[in-house]
């Protein structure tokens, strides 16, 4: 049932929406000690609770901001698109700017999580794109493809 062009296009868009989101959470936050070492931060970034705390505080702010942005624009598609643009910019910033302190890194983690897109988790967006018969199957596959693509990219990147 997936190999209908319209469904496949929606499925591919759901995967593309999820890539920068999973990069922020699954790579940058999870592997913060390695990422910060590669980015040149001399101060040790440790304490999973602290990193995750700032990320989830950002998600809370982002969830509220996403709802307000969606109401203000009167379109979820525009809200997701604009916030996805912010996500891509912040993901690029996370991997290309040289930080000097851990506080700068934590600030960027908070900002990337609070970009309004994170409130609309990509699995929810993917599930809303398909009917009841594909409501569980394709979002789960979408999540697995996003995880695999991000981890594969991380493995072969130069960071």
Domain ranges of the chain: 5-154
Residue 49 has a pLDDT of: 64
Instruction: Give the number of C-alpha atoms closer than 13 A to the C-alpha of residue 84, restricted to the C-beta side.
Output: 19
C-alpha 114: how far from chain center? 10
Q: Give the separation between CA 141 and CA 71, rounded to whole angstroms.
A: 30
CA dihedral of 61, 13, 29, 87, whole degrees rounded to 10: -50
Residues 58/35, Cβ–Cβ less than 8 Å: no
Residues 113/55, Cβ–Cβ less than 8 Å: yes
Q: Which of 108, 116, 131 is nearest to 72 (CA)?
A: 116
Angle at CA of residue 123, ends 117 and 127, nearest 5°: 115
Q: What does the DSSP 8-state code read for residue 4? A: S
SS3 86: helix
Verdict on whether the full-model pTM lies above 0.85: no
Q: What's the mean pLDDT when you consider all of the chain?
A: 76
Q: What are phi and psi of 33, to 5 degrees?
A: -60, -40
| Confidence band, pLDDT 50/70/90 cuts, at residue 147 | confident
Q: What does the DSSP 8-state code read for residue 135? A: T
Q: When comparing pLDDT for 159 and 30, which is higher?
A: 30
């Amino acid at each position: 049932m997936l190999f209908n062009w319209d469904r496949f296009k929606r499925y591919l868009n759901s995967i593309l929406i999820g890539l920068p989101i999973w990069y922020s959470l699954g790579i940058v936050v999870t592997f913060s000690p390695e990422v910060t070492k590669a980015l040149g931060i001399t101060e040790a970034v440790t304490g999973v609770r602290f990193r995750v705390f700032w990320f989830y505080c950002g998600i809370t702010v982002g969830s509220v901001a996403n709802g307000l942005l969606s109401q203000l624009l009167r379109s979820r598609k525009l809200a997701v698109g604009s916030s996805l643009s912010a996500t891509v910019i912040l993901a690029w910033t996370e991997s290309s700017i040289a930080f000097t302190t851990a506080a700068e890194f934590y600030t960027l983690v908070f900002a990337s999580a609070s970009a309004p897109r994170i409130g609309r988790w990509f699995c929810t967006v993917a599930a809303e794109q398909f009917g009841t018969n594909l409501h569980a199957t394709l979002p789960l596959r979408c999540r697995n493809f996003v995880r695999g693509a991000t981890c594969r990219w991380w493995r072969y990147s130069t960071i």
